[in-house]
Amino acid sequence: MSENGEVITGSDFKRMIVGAYSEFILEYDKINAMNTMEGKTFYSGQPGSDILRTMGAAVIPLGDNVNESIGGISRRVANAAVLGARGNAGVILASILQGLAKGLTGKYNATSTEFGKAFQYGILYAQRAVPDQPDRPIIRAAKFVAKSAYVTVRSELPIHDILMAAIRAGMFSLAGGIMDPGEKIMLVFLQGCLKGLDGSFVSPVLSMSNNTYKVEAGVPDPRKDLVRPYCVNFMVENTRLPMDIIEKEMQEVGNFVVVERRQNCIFVHLHTANPGQMLERAVGWGRLSEIHINSMAENHAMITIQAPQMPLALLTVANGMEEGMKLQDAGATVIVDGSADSGPSVEDIVNAVHSDIAEKYILLTDSEHLRLVMNQARQILGDRVRVVLALDHEEQLLAVRAFFPELSLEENCRQMRKALENA
């Protein structure tokens, strides 16, 4: 059969993402209320809220996006989702968006066949997010969806039909069973994408016509989940502008700002959501050189910016100040706030490590709920970090007490895991 001639544009993709986000606004409370026996550990906390906040981070780049290519838009959405991901559910959904972006890279528009293949990439990335649990309900549903998408893509059907077939396959995977939160998330995402593609949705938060935000009462504001996925370094040559003025201007468009004088130049480092906006300010300061822009959402070993204060640190999550004090007294080096229902995002963990307190880190979780968040951070940060999993606060304290900074990274991991096994 010949190609049907349908073209999916960047605007179509925007509507699909906003449609999915809007559908989650309608359904996230229902997802939170689902509490099957299988979901109690893996989706502990509130998986609906995790997903909504992850999607909130994903839609923010659409508000100021000037790149109309489907490849460029999908990549910005994916980068924001990966770093804004919260909980295991959020990491899996971000993986779907990351796979979509992988399949659409370099395309201005996409045919329905190209988009369908990119959609299959997204499903495969979701499966890869949980390699040690291939029988999880969300992964089983994803396999049904991927198989159906493959058949419809081979038939070169319109993207509407591909999404409809994926939804039917997801429903079929549930036949005779109780819906798991992950399966519900998969279906809501597909249904929202379809509504977005057809234009049959109304967003209570975003206006696609003028890129404005109108947040209704009771709906979480996605701007609170803004992430800054791009790590930017550059040199300013022979500038007369004082360093404190440069630092102040950079603080307005990013965070983790470092401004240092290096001979006749000034070195600038920051994390930002919009590298173009930041560089537009900087061009007036002097000649810019050695400009490096890295996406922190991609898997690579991030370079250190400042000399680390110690060779090894233990980073863990605390549910409030009192718990944090106990963990610090027991020997934890870096405490990340986990008191919110959705816990820390991937960006929160990456930023804590990127503060360069230590050369290497052990990331200690306080629940299964954060396992994929920590693993995603490890993939981004590379060989600098290892992950140790504790399932509750008591296990967390046991693992912290087994940590000794004078030992190596691997020796500490062995000791901490042994302490957990003997608990």
Question: DSSP readout, 291-349?
Answer: EEEEETTSSS-PPPSS--SEEEEEEEEESSHHHHHHHHHHT-SEEEE--STT--BHHHH
Output the pLDDT for position 329. 94
**CATH architecture of the region 310-421:** 3-Layer(aba) Sandwich (3.40)
- Single-letter amino acid, residue 159: I
Query: Comparing C-alpha atoms, which of 79, 66, 77 is closest to residue 295?
Result: 79
CB 96 within 8 Å of CB 35: no
Residues 6+ apart with CB under 8 A from 361: 312, 313, 314, 315, 334, 353, 381, 384, 385, 386
Q: What are the pLDDT digits (tens) for 65-119? A: 667 899 999 999 999 999 999 999 999 999 999 999 999 999 999 998 888 888 8
Q: Which sequence spans correspond to the domains of the chain? A: 7-217, 230-295, 310-421
Contact 108/198 with Cβ under 8 angstroms? no
Q: What is the mean pLDDT of the chain?
A: 86
pTM: 0.89
Average pLDDT over residues 313-327: 93
* Per-residue model confidence (pLDDT) at position 176: 55
pLDDT at 397 over 70: yes
Mean pLDDT, range 138-155, rounded to an integer: 76
The 3-state DSSP class for residue 133 equals coil
| CATH code, residues 7-217 | 1.25.40.340
Residues in contact with 357: Cβ distance below 8 Å, sequence separation at least 6, in sequence order: 308, 309, 310, 313, 333, 334
Percent of the chain whose pLDDT exceeds 70:
89
Residue 325 in tokens:
């004090």
Whether the pLDDT of residue 37 is over 50: the answer is: no
- CB 83 within 8 Å of CB 126: no
DSSP bridge pairs for 364: 316, 388
d(CA 394, CA 221): 34
Using the Cα atoms of residue 275, residue 277, residue 280 and residue 285 in order, give the sign of their dihedral: negative
Q: Would you state the structure tokens that stand for residue 201, as one six-digit string?
A: 């949705």
pLDDT score at 149: 74
- Which fold does the domain 230-295 belong to in CATH? Alpha-Beta Plaits (3.30.70)
Summary count for the chain: helices (H), strands (E)? 16, 12
Q: How many whole angstroms separate alpha carbon 94 and alpha carbon 106?
A: 20
Phi, psi dihedrals of residue 47, rounded to the nearest 5°: -60, -30
Region 284-303: what's the mean pLDDT?
Answer: 84
207-251 confidence digits (pLDDT tens): 555 556 666 667 778 888 999 999 999 999 988 889 999 999 999
> Of all helices (H) and strands (E), which one includes residue 386?
strand 385-388
Q: Cα–Cα distance between 145 and 143 in angstroms, integer?
A: 5
164 with 194: CB under 8 angstroms? yes
